[in-house]
Structure 1
Amino acid sequence: MDRFIGYVKIDTQSDPESETTPSTPKQWDLANRLVEELKQIGMEDVTIDEHAYVMATLPANVPHKVPVIGFVSHFDTTPDFSGTNVNPQIIEDYDGKDIVLNAEKDIVLSPDYFDDLLQYKGQTIITTDGNTLLGADDKAGITEIMTAMEYLINNPDIPHGKIRICFTPDEEIGRGAHQFDVQKFGAEWAYTMDGSQIGELEYENFNAAGAVVKVQGKSVHPGYAKDKMINSMYIAQDFINSLPRLETPEHTEGRQGFFHLTSIEGDVEETKLQYIIRDHDKTHFEARKQMMKDLASEICSQYDRDCIQVEIKDQYFNMREKVEPVMHIVELAKEAMEAVHVKPIIKPIRGGTDGAQLSFKGLPCPNIFAGGHNFHGKYEYVPVESMQKATEVIVKLAELTAKKYE
């Protein structure tokens, strides 16, 4: 708990507008602290590169050959909500009632709205003070990996092969794996500790793309605008309303994909729309991208001018196709959870993970729970017992892998 609170008090918010890696200088603050802590607990080959990727090794303590496995978490927090001056609140022996995060602003974490809270009655919960996010995404994962490595070092009777760990910047802006040196990491497979509630085990995620839609109008004096003015905002409105209204985040779940309008910026002359496109199914994903292009062409033909430009960039793909050929790594994680009395919840991620990009770079990388809830906002919280269980899962995975290859 002390380790986690120490991490979340360091502001590591990433910046999508930056072109550097890490995207913000303040991410170095925690990265450098992690390097020192890894050395202090006794990890070997501790390195930090020019992009702030922190790697370290726990050498094998068994004589037989065991595949090298890895554990990965990111230290940046989302740009969607403030991570400055995080002030964690500790709720011991949670009673199942409302938690007042900020009385002055009347900000309440209530099980009436966030019913997942009720499964943690009697546990210790760490929350925000209502002014910032918490940073359990993914400083809980870092805490768990660090604590598990320290435990294995202090308990050499637990057999394990060589373990590699990596802490990364900029995951929250989709770049966490961009500068990840898979060859240097040297693991046969790995696990990101970046899931949400206790028990989550995921090897499917969205295919993802970002789209920028630029709409060109024609601005003239409104008093003399008849048959001359073309208002780009009205054309943009046509575009927005022509996409399937129910295929948006607030109307979808499970493996259902969506179009998500994230921002609008415009005037009469030009309007810019920013979308993210998501779908678990690759065929549906490609169809969504084509739908946006076809819609733009159709609207342009109605105005008899080239008034809409659509630029689409792929961001990441569904790791399922890379993990399914090595499903034993998922089964190992499932077995480790069951061994420490955690019920596995295997489901697709409605989002992305560094593990998706790493899987396509040759490092199969399913995702394991880190324990937090309500990421990216002031209602974020994490039960301490969930972090403890995630730590136990890491230790057990190391032990089971060594025993499987005796």
Structure 2
Amino acid sequence: MKVIYGNIASPLGFSADGLHAGFKKKKVDLGWVVSEVPASVAGVYTTNKIIAAPLVVTKDAVAKAGKMQAIVANSGCANSCTGQQGLDDAFTMQKWTAEKLGITQEMVGVASTGVIGEFLSMKVLKNGLSKLVVNGNADSFSQAILTTDTGIKTVAVTEMFGHATVTMAGVAKGSGMIHPNMATMLAFITCDATISSETLQLALSQNVEKTFNQITVDGDTSTNDMVLVLSNGYALNQEILPDTPDFEKFSTMLHFVMQDLAKKIASDGEGATKLIEVNVVNAPNTEAARMMAKSVVGSSLVKTAIFGEDPNWGRILAAVGYAGVEVPVENIDIKLGKLPVMLASKPVSFDEGEMVDIMQKKQIVITVDLHSGNASGQAWGCDLSYDYVKINALYRT
């Protein structure tokens, strides 16, 4: 697998565009991704009981058509908690996009992100859609889905399947309200491989637990979280089937793209200054390892300690203890970077100067060794800074 410089339109047969429509004061806030032909589609969605109107419309489209040819997305307004009018507006957004592209309505997925409880301006939407073009500025789509993000999040890779070169690319947004369970914020992945929607869904479902579901910024699960993967077959490879070497290779590509986007989301948490990676090793099973890793990275006390560059390993141990995992606690090792701070569940002395160097890094790696099995799990998050409170206290103003 080769990482390439690219964007969401890098796979064959895809294009994208984005522009400033007026949902936000100045920034790019409306865009679409378009496949030249109907593509296989897979999706995962928020588990929040409050589901935004765009998710209802998109899930309905996937269920009805089993294919998708375009995704239209806006930022600046989440169109969530907006009742029947919000649902009608989301369907209209889908309908107008389909008419503009000359495709059936069920072939369009819709996504929105931004302030909850405000109605989508249909005048702004209609004007913006009239200006979007096929084969436009794909990088502008990456900007169109951002809210409090500090920058775009993209990744692209290629892999050989026989004599065919398959390209996969992803784009995501996410900075706050990030504690996903089955999806995260907004993430869109395109690919030109030949693969059915059912097989694509299998690959997505298998990888989401190890990637997007293992990040947390602030413990909040959004009403608008969604991941969509489209694959249009333009690479002309032999169809990828389950339980084959090609499926494993495809799944590895997808895992890389999803994990890369997940880590970029975690490192761009609102007000974040550091990326935190937690590795739980030698656990009794994978689920236990993942739960414990996410418990540590989700701890507000751990996050604030990392922000303050304080090697307070007691907070890490406490998060291990309340993770809800039954493991022996008499032989746990904890390391910050490569420096042990606890061995066999007992504190150890460490070089303060070396620890200062570790805690000043932009990426802090915490390793928890349980000595109770062979499984492992990872999770990613960020520190909790003064700016996080400021950003969210003034979000609407």
What TM-score, normalized by structure 2, do the two folds share? 0.24
Structure with more contact order per residue of length (Cα contacts < 8 Å, sep ≥ 6): 1
Q: Which has the higher strand share?
A: 2
